Structure 1
Amino acid sequence: MSILKISIRQIKAARSLLGWSQDDLAESSGVSKPTIGRLEAIDSDDPIGGRPETGEALVAALEKAGVEFIPENGGGAGVRLAKRGKKR
């Protein structure tokens, strides 16, 4: 999915699904906590602002942790936890 279509509101929702703080996301993504705080203060459905590599790092960290970003499909964009394989 293109980073340009992921909103900061989706980032916040993904963080919430994982139970992550801004500190957790900062540690996992390599993006500073103040930068995450500034981005999240916007609280918008607009695409992530700032440098493209910042958004890419945030999305990559959340996806690695098991979040799937759902594109706008008539029902609105969103996030969900990826389906996990069966445990044996």
Structure 2
Amino acid sequence: MMISRSEFLVRMKLDDITLDLWMVEEWLLPRRVEDDVLFTEADLARAQLIHDLQHDLGVNREGIGIILSLLDQVHGLRQALAGKVHPAEG
């Protein structure tokens, strides 16, 4: 399900400036459609993580970027491993 920018802002209780900053930092990469952007449920979860890192754990901007990069790498590795067939299964 795709979520409009306005709905995303309401659901996350974010302001436009914060969302724009997160997109400039490339912490969120919504799908661009004409003059708008669309978000997924995964984007909502990622935004909640960003919020928790900032507000609950006090992680600074640089730290958030590093954490998100590491999480993306782990996710990519899991996908790569899931695509491989084990010799015992082949």
**TM-score normalised by L of structure 1:** 0.32
- Kindly indicate whether structure 1 or structure 2 has the higher relative contact order, using CA contacts under 8 Å at least 6 residues apart: 1
Q: Which has the larger radius of gyration?
A: 2
- Greater helix fraction, Structure 1 or Structure 2: 2
**TM-score normalised by L of structure 2:** 0.32
